[in-house]
Amino acid sequence: MTRFRPEALATAMQRRLDALGVAPESSRHVVASLLETSLRGVDSHGIRLFPHYDRACQAARVNGRPSMQLVASSPSTAVVDADHAFGHHAGAYAMDRALERARETGVGAVAVRHSTHFGAAAYAALRAARSGFVAFSFTNADALVRAAGATVPVFGTNPVCFAAPMTGEDPMCLDMATSTVSWNKILVHRRSGQPLEAGWADDEIGNPTTDAAAARMLEPSGGYKGFGLGMMVDVLCGLLAGGPVAREILPMFTAPLSERRSIGHFFVALDVERFVPLASFAARLKTLADEIRSLPAASNAVMVPGDPEKRTSAERSLAGIPVEDPTLSELLALGPDFAAAVVR
């Protein structure tokens, strides 16, 4: 297993984006998001995506030098037109506008239109929660999850992400697709030839399948509940943002890279101090988390949302970030900085 040294990998990605002409205020968020996400073990949304982003930027789907604009603004709300920026930048920019508003009024809610894939939803939410805010982060995506009761997909994996500050450790962070599993999990099984678990996916006519090669759509998490949550996310990210929703959104990997997708996001920041003192809130959340962690376990350890990512982050910060082919070859093809970042 090849591993990369985190800081050296960050440097390699930064230099590559500089060479592509990406503005520093964009590239720093792309690098920080991909690095943090891979350290946290969420490989589906980490540096695995860098070669794709590289191509998307060259093909002008992603605008590396965006001019972000507030097309609407009020004391607690805003709508950002992201000018097809890297979604990581658009998300950080929008969450910062939400935080400004939350500092003034107690809450900030910001919708984003004309954006691109923003990586892990947790990047923006953790940013806010580490500053003492309770935060939500949502994004829409192209249709991939079977609509409850139907034979076709309507909504994307449309994640719900929630983060809250906790004394003495990184925030609690729930970051969940509203599908049963991620599409990436299907792809991993397709490569390995292993069958899928029942209830994960359906074939092209909407029938359940455990054949990864035949899978064409995902099942919503909890049936109609995951479908309903996916619709909620598109109401926030598509309709409130004034952008496309559901089947109007182009697929990420199979649409031409010259075509823009106009992804939408939605962010909320709540100033804890307007409700209860932050110190007591964070201490009570820590107590609750520790109580849950010490519950009698069914098999493995009992964890709260974000715990698996904290463990992986601690391990990978020391040992490096593991990368497999085809991502490994793609990264190494991007220049000697990547080869220099490999752990020897």
Q: What is d(CA 189, CA 296) in angstroms, rounded to the nearest whole number?
A: 32
Answer positive or negative: Cα dihedral of 79, 81, 84, 86.
negative
From residue 212, alpha-carbon distances to 179, 191, 217, 339 in Å are 16, 9, 10, 33
255 binds its own copies (CB under 8 A): no
Residue type, 5: R
Q: What is d(CA 288, CA 295) in angstroms, rounded to the nearest whole number?
A: 11
Closer to its own copies by Cβ: residue 62 or 164: 164
Which residue of 108, 119, 156, 320 would you call a contact of its own copies, by CB under 8 A? Answer: 108
- The window from 12-20, 36-44, 105-113, 183-191 that contacts its own copies (CB under 8 A) reads 105-113
Q: What is d(CA 61, CA 86) in angstroms, rounded to the nearest whole number?
A: 10
72 binds its own copies (CB under 8 A): yes
Which residue of 76, 167, 184, 210 would you call a contact of its own copies, by CB under 8 A? Answer: 76
Q: What is d(CA 330, CA 14) in angstroms, rounded to the nearest whole number?
A: 16
Which residue of 8, 20, 23, 176 would you call a contact of its own copies, by CB under 8 A? Answer: 176
39 binds its own copies (CB under 8 A): no
135 binds its own copies (CB under 8 A): no
Where in 261-300 is the site for its own copies (CB under 8 A)?
268, 270-272, 274-276, 281, 284-285, 288, 291-292, 295-300
Residues 6+ apart with CB under 8 A from 181: 200, 201, 218
Q: Dmax over Cα atoms in the chain, in whole Å? A: 54
Which residue of 31, 82, 107, 342 would you call a contact of its own copies, by CB under 8 A? Answer: 107
150 binds its own copies (CB under 8 A): yes
Tell the smallest beta-carbon distance from residue 281 to its own copies (Å).
Answer: 5
Which residue of 34, 246, 341, 342 would you call a contact of its own copies, by CB under 8 A? Answer: 246
9 binds its own copies (CB under 8 A): no
Tell the smallest beta-carbon distance from residue 127 to its own copies (Å).
Answer: 18
Please, are residues 293 and 304 in contact by the beta-carbon 8 Å criterion? yes
Tell the smallest beta-carbon distance from residue 206 to its own copies (Å).
Answer: 6
From residue 155, alpha-carbon distances to 113, 231, 250, 343 in Å are 17, 7, 12, 40
151 binds its own copies (CB under 8 A): yes
Tell the smallest beta-carbon distance from residue 137 to its own copies (Å).
Answer: 12
Tell the smallest beta-carbon distance from residue 317 to its own copies (Å).
Answer: 24
From residue 94, alpha-carbon distances to 66, 110, 235, 304 in Å are 14, 6, 18, 27
Tell the smallest beta-carbon distance from residue 246 to its own copies (Å).
Answer: 6
Residues 6+ apart with CB under 8 A from 174: 160, 161, 162, 163, 305, 306
- The window from 6-14, 49-57, 114-122, 226-234 that contacts its own copies (CB under 8 A) reads 226-234
Closer to its own copies by Cβ: residue 25 or 170: 170
Q: What 8-state DSSP symbol labels residue 122? A: H
Residue 24 corresponds to which tokens in the numbers above? 């520093």
Which residue of 20, 239, 340, 343 would you call a contact of its own copies, by CB under 8 A? Answer: 239
Q: What is d(CA 25, CA 64) in angstroms, rounded to the nearest whole number?
A: 10
- The window from 32-40, 50-58, 174-182, 335-343 that contacts its own copies (CB under 8 A) reads 174-182
Q: What is d(CA 325, CA 75) in angstroms, rounded to the nearest whole number?
A: 48
Cα angle at 120 between 11 and 220, to 5 degrees?
Answer: 155
Judged by CB under 8 A, how many residues of this single chain contact its own copies? 72
Tell the smallest beta-carbon distance from residue 316 to its own copies (Å).
Answer: 21
- The window from 6-14, 173-181, 309-317, 330-338 that contacts its own copies (CB under 8 A) reads 173-181
Tell the smallest beta-carbon distance from residue 148 to its own copies (Å).
Answer: 7
Rama region for 249: left / alpha / beta (φ>0; ψ in -120 to 50; rest):
beta
168 binds its own copies (CB under 8 A): no
